[in-house]
């Protein structure tokens, strides 16, 4: 239905927004590529929704510039931006049928009746709402309303589709289904998608890139594996999933990355000690750590004692305490967990050098 | 009340004085009026037959319906505009709108009717002013006719039209309006195709309230109509206190009450009582 070339490329330069004395967004610069699926991720109040509203044109930035395909659209009102938008709670027109809801943006654009009929029909088929054309939104399930909202936002082939936490009201199984559907729609239409969520797993599963927000600041942008495996700072590391943090001393560059002392034992990292020197934090995801009877010479490892376990079905989550009191969580096969607990004494925690990364000590 | 009596008992007790008052002062005497309509001057349906044939009664009925309809359209339209400002305006605009809505409630209907006479009469403010700037040479007949009645009634009823509209506009989800604009609809188009249809229940409630109130108006038409545009309530008064033709007056009353009752039943099919406040 649409050439990928029609997808919009958006450039935000130094965007800031204050509501009175509250700084909602601070000096945000971001390029959103043509046809990209970008997720804005952050806790509530982090500025992600404010940025989406600025992209839509519903909120005027206090400072900064916004470009779409090289054109300055900072002062362009929402109705002239031609961005499709899916709201939290869908915001369907309650007095219009499914068909009329989807036809609305086409009618506004004064398309011919025949064209409207054809495109609405195609869209209804594409989102699987055939047979529901004449129903009112109140007669539909949550998932169906969601599809109407998506169809209405995509039917006029916008250059960019903005989605504000569209799945927050759906139950888990429906959520997964709608996520898959949205991914398919993204591939089919080739449109640029900008998606807001506070759910990190949703962000990692859907996006081509994730932008992480906190306290009005854009902290890091990158592909899901990039931000997950190599977070720039502690907030990003913690927000994207469980993470173990071990205090590290005497960090310095080494031949193959960097090296430091973890509880008096030398450990190696593949990442470079660019931003940190001396004291730092070594961060490792629970799934990258394993349990061993002992650590070989030259292998990364520290001694710890298992304190509790949580059976998760496919694996067991094991809580451990190191000799110097750091708390660590690992995800291990069930039988390994049982063995570690039954021994009741010291085990070794090991991890590959490429899976540990350095964060500045304390604070950010 | 809780702990001593159940909530339901408590509510019943609190409402009892009002119910008792309504029964003693309204329902019971009205049964007497119903009785008159079938018994005076002679028992039978004679008065109701007279209603169907009496030209004067019919013309007053038609005038009443016409005035009520005009007043309803004008009041609801004006109230709609005021309510938009009251509910969705800036804080300063809200304050002004609130003032305009509430102040009329503090002035009695009689005072307001005479106020309009002072404004609209041949030597009233408006005619004097229009003549002094040379816009007209002869005074316009603005009062002691249907026009005056419509003006006075509309002014009285606008605040009553505001509340159901405000309730409908407050419950409207802002995101739906944003969605319309985000989909490319101008503010004007969004207003007419989304905002107005979504406040439909408020418009219906508001219109029915104004219409029902209009049907029973007495003081305003009596003063501003100057005896020339008699409405139904004034006709009942004339039949009972001046003719005296109690039977016919009673029959008109019964028809009016039944008609209003039917309209109220219609009203509550569309809106819940709490939406009207």
Q: What CATH number is given to the structural domain containing B212? A: 1.10.3720.10
Residue A45: pLDDT over 80: yes
B5 and B137 fall within a common domain: no
Q: Output the pLDDT for position B193.
A: 94
Domain ranges, residue B19 = 1-39
Number of H helices, E strands in chain B: 15, 0
Chain B, 233 to 272: residues with Cβ < 8 Å from chain A are: none
Contact A56, B182 (CB under 8 A): yes
Q: Sheet harboring A244-254: ordered strands across?
A: A265-269, A257-262, A244-254, A278-284, A357-360
B100 and B29 fall within a common domain: no
Specify the range with the lowest mean pLDDT, choosing from A242-256, B83-97, B151-165.
A242-256
- Condensed to tens digits (0 to 9), the pLDDT of residues A99-137 reads 999 999 999 999 999 999 999 999 999 988 999 999 999
Contact A99, B203 (CB under 8 A): no
Mean pLDDT in residue range B44-52: 85
Which of B80 and B46 is assigned the larger pLDDT? B80
Nearest residue in chain A measured CA to CA from B178: A58
What is the Cα–Cα distance from A141 to A154, expressed in whole angstroms?
20
CB atoms inside a 10 Å sphere around CB A231: 23
Give the residue from B163, B256, B172, B274 showing the smallest Cα distance to B209.
B163
Confidence of residue B135 (pLDDT cuts 50, 70, 90): confident
Q: How many residues does chain A have?
A: 364
Residue A275: pLDDT over 80: no
- Condensed to tens digits (0 to 9), the pLDDT of residues B121-134 reads 888 888 889 888 88
Is the Cβ pair B182, A93 closer than 8 Å? no
Which of A25 and B140 is assigned the larger pLDDT? A25
- Condensed to tens digits (0 to 9), the pLDDT of residues A5-26 reads 478 999 999 999 999 889 999 9
Q: Is A85 on the interface with B (CB under 8 A)?
A: yes
Q: Output the pLDDT for position A336.
A: 81
Specify the range with the lowest mean pLDDT, choosing from A12-21, A96-105, A311-320, B155-164.
A311-320
Contact A193, A186 (CB under 8 A): yes
- Condensed to tens digits (0 to 9), the pLDDT of residues A200-228 reads 888 998 999 999 999 999 999 999 999 99
B51 and B7 fall within a common domain: no
Torsion sign across C-alpha atoms B225, B228, B229, B231: positive
Is the Cβ pair A79, B173 closer than 8 Å? no
DSSP H/E element including A252: strand A244-254
Taking CA atoms, B36 is separated from A126, B46, B61, B215, B216, in Å, by 70, 11, 20, 22, 20
**ipTM passes above 0.90:** no
Which of A277 and B30 is assigned the larger pLDDT? B30
Specify the range with the lowest mean pLDDT, choosing from A102-106, A149-153, A294-298.
A294-298
Contact A241, A200 (CB under 8 A): yes
Confidence of residue A42 (pLDDT cuts 50, 70, 90): very high
Residue-wise burial string across B111-147, b where 16 or more C-beta atoms lie within 10 A, e elsewhere? ebbeebbebbbeebebbeeeeeeeeeeebeebbbebb
SS3 A327: strand
Chain A, 162 to 201: residues with Cβ < 8 Å from chain B are: 162
Q: Is A136 on the interface with B (CB under 8 A)?
A: no
B228 and B203 fall within a common domain: yes
Q: Output the pLDDT for position A172.
A: 81
Min Cα separation B3/chain A (Å): 39
Give the residue from A218, A224, A231, A162 showing the smallest Cα distance to A12.
A218
Confidence of residue A58 (pLDDT cuts 50, 70, 90): very high
Question: Domain tally for chain B?
Answer: 2
Q: Output the pLDDT for position B1.
A: 43
Residue-wise burial string across A206-223, b where 16 or more C-beta atoms lie within 10 A, e elsewhere? bbebbbbbbebbbbbbbe
B55 and B26 fall within a common domain: no
| B109: Cβ contacts below 8 Å, ≥ 6 apart | B156, B219, B220
Give me the helices (H) in chain A, please: 48-56, 98-108, 113-126, 142-154, 172-189, 200-206, 224-229, 234-239, 334-343
Interface test with A, best of B173, B174, B178, B179 (most A CBs within 10 A): B179
Residue B116 tokens, joined: 């309009």
CATH class of this structure's domain A4-234: alpha beta
Q: How many CA atoms lie within 13 A of A246 on its CB side?
A: 34
Q: Provide the number of CB pairs (under 8 Å) joining chain A to chain B.
A: 68
Min Cα separation A328/chain B (Å): 44
Residue B27: pLDDT over 80: yes
Confidence of residue A4 (pLDDT cuts 50, 70, 90): very low
Q: Which long-range contacts link A18-21 to residues 24+ away (Cβ below 8 Å)?
A: A18/A62
Specify the range with the lowest mean pLDDT, choosing from A57-66, A120-129, A289-298, B76-85.
A289-298
> Quick one: A242-360 is in which CATH superfamily?
Nucleic acid-binding proteins (2.40.50.140)
A105 CB neighbours in chain B (<8 A) are 183-185
B159 and B31 fall within a common domain: no
Residue B59 tokens, joined: 């013309």
Residue A2: pLDDT over 50: no
- Condensed to tens digits (0 to 9), the pLDDT of residues B171-213 reads 998 899 999 998 999 999 999 999 999 999 899 989 999 999 9
Residue B160: pLDDT over 50: yes
B74 and B168 fall within a common domain: yes
Q: Output the pLDDT for position A17.
A: 94
B29 and B148 fall within a common domain: no
Which part of chain A has CATH 2.40.50.140? 242-360
- Condensed to tens digits (0 to 9), the pLDDT of residues A155-206 reads 999 999 999 988 887 888 888 888 888 899 999 999 999 999 988 888 998 9
Give the residue from B190, B245, B221, B210 showing the smallest Cα distance to B79.
B210
What is the Cα–Cα distance from A220 to A240, expressed in whole angstroms?
12
Min Cα separation A97/chain B (Å): 13
**Percentage of chain B modeled with pLDDT above 90:** 44
Mean pLDDT of chain B: 88
The dihedrals phi and psi of B54, each to the nearest 5 degrees, come to -70, 115
A148 CB neighbours in chain B (<8 A) are none
């Amino acid at each position: 239905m649409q050439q990928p070339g029609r997808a919009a490329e958006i450039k935000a330069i130094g965007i800031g927004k204050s509501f009175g004395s509250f700084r909602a967004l601070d000096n945000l610069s971001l390029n959103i590529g043509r046809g990209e699926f970008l997720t804005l991720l952050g806790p509530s109040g982090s500025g992600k929704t404010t940025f989406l509203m600025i992209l839509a044109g519903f909120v005027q930035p206090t400072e900064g510039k916004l470009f779409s395909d090289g054109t300055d659209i900072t002062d362009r009102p929402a109705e002239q931006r031609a961005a499709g938008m899916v709201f939290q709670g869908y915001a369907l027109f309650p007095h219009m049928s499914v068909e009329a809801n989807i036809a609305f943006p086409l009618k506004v654009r004064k398309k011919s009746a025949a064209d409207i009929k054809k495109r609405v029909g195609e869209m209804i088929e594409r989102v699987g709402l055939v047979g529901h054309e004449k129903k009112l939104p109140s007669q539909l399930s949550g998932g169906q309303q969601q599809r109407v909202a998506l169809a209405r936002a995509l039917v006029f082939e916008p250059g960019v589709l903005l989605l504000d936490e569209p799945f927050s009201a759906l139950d888990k199984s429906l959520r997964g289904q709608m996520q898959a559907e949205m991914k398919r729609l993204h591939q089919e239409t080739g449109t640029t998608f900008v998606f807001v969520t506070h759910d990190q797993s949703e962000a990692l599963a859907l996006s081509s890139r994730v932008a992480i927000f906190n306290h009005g600041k854009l902290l890091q942008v990158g592909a899901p594996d990039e931000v997950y495996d190599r977070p720039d700072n502690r907030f990003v590391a913690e927000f994207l999933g469980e993470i173990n943090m071990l205090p590290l001393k005497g960090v310095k560059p080494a031949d193959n990355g960097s090296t430091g002392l973890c509880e008096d034992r030398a450990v190696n990292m593949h990442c470079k000690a660019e931003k940190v020197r001396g004291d730092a934090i070594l961060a490792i995801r629970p799934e990258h750590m394993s349990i061993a009877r002992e650590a070989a010479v030259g292998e990364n490892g520290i001694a710890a004692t298992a304190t509790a376990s949580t059976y998760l079905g496919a694996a067991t989550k094991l809580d451990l305490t190191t000799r110097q009191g750091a708390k660590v969580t690992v995800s291990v096969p069930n039988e390994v967990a049982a063995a570690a607990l039954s021994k009741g004494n010291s085990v070794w925690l090991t991890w590959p050098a490429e899976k540990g990364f350095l964060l500045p000590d304390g604070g950010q | 009340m809780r702990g001593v009596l159940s909530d339901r008992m408590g509510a019943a007790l609190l409402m009892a004085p009002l119910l008792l008052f309504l029964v003693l002062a309204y329902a019971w005497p009205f049964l007497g009026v119903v009785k008159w309509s079938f018994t005076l001057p002679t028992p039978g349906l004679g008065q109701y037959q007279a209603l169907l044939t009496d030209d004067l009664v019919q013309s007053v009925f038609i005038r009443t319906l016409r005035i009520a309809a005009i007043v309803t359209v004008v009041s609801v339209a004006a109230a709609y505009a005021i309510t938009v400002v009251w509910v969705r305006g800036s804080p300063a605009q809200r304050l002004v709108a609130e003032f305009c809505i509430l102040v009329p409630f503090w002035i009695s209907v009689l005072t307001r009717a005479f106020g309009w006479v002072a404004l609209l009469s041949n030597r009233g403010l408006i005619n004097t002013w229009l003549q002094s700037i040379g816009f007209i040479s002869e005074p316009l007949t603005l009062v002691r006719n249907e026009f005056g009645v419509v003006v006075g009634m509309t002014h009285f009823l606008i605040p009553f039209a505001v509340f159901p509209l405000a309730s409908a506009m407050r419950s409207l989800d802002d995101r739906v309006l944003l969605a319309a604009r985000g989909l490319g609809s101008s503010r004007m188009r969004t207003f007419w195709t989304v905002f107005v249809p979504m406040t439909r229940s408020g418009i219906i409630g508001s219109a029915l309230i104004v219409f029902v109130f209009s049907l029973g108006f007495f003081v305003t038409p009596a003063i501003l109509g100057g005896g020339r545009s008699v409405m139904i309530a004034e006709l009942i008064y004339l039949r009972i206190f001046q003719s005296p033709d109690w039977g016919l007056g009673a029959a008109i009353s019964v028809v009016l009450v039944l008609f209003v009752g039917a309209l109220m039943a219609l009203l509550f099919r569309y809106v819940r009582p709490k939406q009207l406040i």
